[in-house]
A and B are shown apart, each in its own frame.
Chain A
Amino acid sequence: MVHIKRIQEGNVDIISVIGEIDASSSIELDLSIAKSVGEGHKNILVDCNALEYISSAGLGVFMSYIDELSDKGIKMVLFGLKEKVASTFQILGLADLLHITESKEEAKKKVHDLSI
C-alpha cells in the first residue's frame, strides 16, 4: 500500500511517497509523476523519507521516465532514501541514472545546479 501526496514549494513540485511500492501500487506512482509532468512542472522532487520498500515494478516507473524527462528538460531528484531502498536502486544500477540526494535542501540545490 502506498500513499502519495503532492505539494508545491516555490518552483518545485514535491511528490511524497509514503509506504511500500509494489507491482499494484506502482501504478499510483506512475500516475502522480505523469500528472506532475502533465501540469508542466520543470522541477520535480520525490520525497522518499517514508518509502519503506520498492519493488522492481516501482523502479521500472522511475526508469521509464528517464528519457521523457531529459527530452522535456525536466529535472527530477529523489531524496531521503532509506538505506535499503537506496541499495535497491544501487544494485539495479538505477542510482547512476537518477539524481539522488540525502536531504530536501540538497535536492533543491541539485535542481538549481542542473538548471544552469
Chain B
Amino acid sequence: MPIGFNFGFFVENKAIVRLTFIGAIIVWLIMVFSDITVLFSDLKGLEPDLPTWLPRAMLDLFVISIFYYYKYKIEYDDTLNFTDLLWRVFAVGLVVTISSLSIKLMLVLLGSTALTGNVIFNEIIYLINLALFLIFLVAAFTAWKRLIVYHKSKWLIRFWRVFELTLLFVLIYDTLGIELTEWMMTVMIVDVGVFALVLSANMKWVAYLNFKQKWISLLLLLLSFFYLGYFFYTVTTQSGIIGAQSNAFLDFRSHIFNILLFAFIILYSSFSFLVILFNLPTSSAFEQKLEEVVNFQRISQSVQTEQNEESVYQILLESSVNSSFADAGWLEIYSEPDHAFYTNQITEKDALYIRDNLNKNQVKGAIDQSSDKTRNLSKHLAKIKGVKFRSILSSPLLIKGELAGSLTLLKELPDGFNKEMSRIVSTFVNQAGISIENFRLLAEAFQNERYKEELKIAKMVQKSLLPEKLEGDNSFQISAYSQSADEVGGDYYDAIRLSDHEVALIIADVSGKGTSAAFHMSQMKGIFHSLAQTEHSPSGFMLRANVALTNCLERGSFISAIYFVINTEKKMIRYARAGHCPVLYYCASKNMAEYLKDKGSALGMIRNSSYSNFIDNQEFAYQEGDMLVLYTDGITEAKNGKGQEFGYDRLADIVNQVNGHTPHEMQQIIIDTLHEYSGKDKINDDYTTMIIKFT
C-alpha cells in the first residue's frame, strides 16, 4: 500500500512505530464502537446514528496502520536474516494465538451464561479475534515481501507495487460496498491470484539457508499454518454465529481483501514449505560449495592479510582435506632452502613411509615430481603393506610454472575421490600457487623499490665525486659536463692546482657502465688526488695508477684516461694518453681542430711492469686562443636512428665552426647537436666533455 504519510522523512522510525501502534488501537476502538452501534441498531430495527460504512472504513485504517507498523518493524530492519524473519512471523503468531486461546479459555470457564449467548458480547470477542488475525496476516505479508523481493530487480519491485496497489484497491472496494457483477469479481480475484502465483515463484532465499536453518524454517512455517488454520476457523465460526442473527456487522467472509490476504499468505507459505522440503537433501552439497568458495577466498586473500607463505600452505592443506572429505593429507614443498612438510590427520612418519614406498615402486605421478597433472594413484596404494588408506590423490603445486611441491590426500575408502573432488583440489592448489607467486612478486617489488632508493643515494654520492667547480685560471677557461646512461656512471673528470702556474687535469672512462663502473670511477678519483701532487710526469702518473688499479679491477675491466699537466708560465702542455679517445686540439693560428696522434694503452690492460712500454709522454706549447676538447666515447659512439655513429669528424666540425665561443657555450652546442643527432633524449652510454680554452 504505497500511499504514505511522508513522516518517515521527518520523524524517527521509532516514533512512527509508536504512532501507528496507537493509531491502530484507536481505530480499532472506533471500529468496535461503531460496529456494535450499527449491529445494535440493526437488531432493534432502528436506523443507526452512524453511517454503516464507518466500521468498514475503520477496518481499512486498522489494516493500513498495522501495515505501516510492520513496515517499520520488519521491512526496514536490515539486521533480520531469513530465519529471523520467519521467527518474527512465528512469534507474532504465537502471541496472537495465545491471546485468542486465553479468551476462549475464559469463556469456557465462564460456562454457558446469558453473557456468552449475547450477540454484542460475541461481536466483541469476534472483533478481537479478527484484529489478532489481521495483525498476524499483515506481519506475515510484510515478512513475505522481504523474502520475495530478496533478489531485487526493477521488474520484481514494480510487480510487487502493482500487487500492493491492487490489494489496496480491493480494500477500498470492500469499504465502498459497491456491487460488482459476478464476472468483474471473478476477474479481480483471478488477477490477484495470478499476481500471487507469480510472486510466489520467488524462492531464491531458500537456497541461502543451510541445513539447520531449513529445518527451523520448516518448523516455523508448520506452526504458522496451525495459527492460520486456527484463526480462520475461529473467525469463520464466530461470524457464522453472529451472522445467524444479523448481517449488519463486519463479516470476515464478505470482506474480499481479508480473504485474498489470507489466501496469499497461505499460498506463499505452502510454496516455501514445499521448496524448503525438497531442497533439504541438496542443501549439504550447496553448503559444501559455499565452504569451498570461502576456503578459496581464504587462500586468495592471504596475500592481502599479510600472512606468510606457510599460512597459505596450511590453509591449502586444511581446505583440501575438508573439501574432498579426505581422511588425511600431506603437503610437501620441495623448493630449497625452505623444504617443508605439512601433515593433516597423519603423522609425518606415516606420510613419509607412504611417499617413499610409492617412490620405490616407481609410481609415475606428482609425488615423484615427474608430472604436473593431478593424478589418482589409488591402485598403487594396495601394494604397500600396513597402510589403512585405500585412495590417494596427488596434485602438483606449481609456482611460476615450476614444480614447487605436491599435495597428497588420502582416504580409507577405495575409489574415494571423484572427479569433482579432484577438480576442486586442483583449483585450490592452483590458487595457492598464484598466492605464493603474488607473495614473491610483492617481496620482489619491495626489494626493487629499496634498490631504487639505494641507487638514488648512489647517484647523489657520485655526483659529489665530480668537481662542482673546476680550477680556472687567468690564462685559461674551463668547462665540463657529464651525464650517465644509468643512475650511476663510469665517466670521470677533475682538475687540481699543483702550483701557482701548474694545473693537473684528468678525464677518464671506466669500461662498462652502471654500478661497477661507478665504483672504479671513485677509485680513479682517489688515485688522481693522491698521485697528482707527487707525480709530475704524466707517464709516471699513468704507470703508478696502473699499478694501483691492477689489484682492484676485475678481469676484463680497464680504465681509459688522459692526464694533463698545464704550465701557464711556460705555456706548455704535457700529457699522457692511456687508451682514451684522442685529444681534439684546436690550433688558433691554423684555425683548425685536429686529433692528436699518439699511443698508449688503457689502465689495467697490461698488469705488469711492461706497461711502461705502452705509455708515452707528449709535450707541446700552446698559444692564445688554442683549445683542448676532451670527451668520452659516449659522444663519438652515440648513434642516430639509422645506427650510424656521431663520429670523430662531426665533433671536429663543430669545434671548427664555433671556435669563437666560450668553453661553456661550446659545450652546450656539442650537447645540443648530439641530442639532435641521436633523436632521443637518452643516449645509451655515459658521456662527458671537458673543454679548455687558453686566453
Contact = CB atoms under 8 A, between A and B. Distances in A.
Interface string A59-90: 11101101100000000000000001000000
A7 interface: no
Pick from A66, A92, A94 the residue with the most CB of B within 10 Å: A92
Contacts of B202: none
B556 interface: yes
Interface string B529-572: 00000000000000000000000000111101000000000000
Contacts of A23: 512-513
B607 A93 contact: no
- Main secondary structure, interface of B, reads loop
Given A56-B633, A60-B557, A92 B512 contact: no
Nearest to A56: B511
Interface string B575-600: 00011111000000000000000011
Given A23-B513, A57-B511, A93-B600, A63 B605 contact: yes
A99 B582 CA distance: 22
B163 interface: no
Contacts of B606: 66, 97
Contacts of B581: 91
A94 B601 CA distance: 6
A94 B581 CA distance: 13
Given A23-B512, A59-B511, A96 B614 contact: yes
Contact of A94 (B509, B579, B580, B633): B579
Contacts, number: 58
A56 B605 CA distance: 11
Pick from A23, A56, A67 the residue with the most CB of B within 10 Å: A56
A61 to B, nearest CB: 6
A59 B559 CA distance: 12
Contacts of B605: 63, 92-94, 97
Interface in A21-72: 23, 30, 56-57, 59-61, 63-64, 66-67
Contacts of A91: 560, 579-582
Interface string A3-26: 000000000000000000001000
Contacts of A94: 579, 601-602, 605
A56 B520 CA distance: 15
Contacts of B557: 60
Given A56-B511, A57-B512, A93 B556 contact: no
B556 A92 contact: no
Nearest to A84: B645
Pick from A23, A93, A94, A96 the residue with the most CB of B within 10 Å: A93
Contacts of A84: 645
Nearest to A61: B556
24 contacts: A56-B511, A56-B512, A56-B558, A56-B560, A57-B511, A57-B512, A59-B511, A59-B558, A60-B556, A63-B556, A63-B605, A64-B556, A91-B581, A91-B582, A92-B601, A93-B578, A93-B599, A93-B601, A93-B602, A94-B579, A94-B601, A94-B602, A96-B614, A97-B601
Interface of A: 23, 30, 56-57, 59-61, 63-64, 66-67, 84, 91-94, 96-97
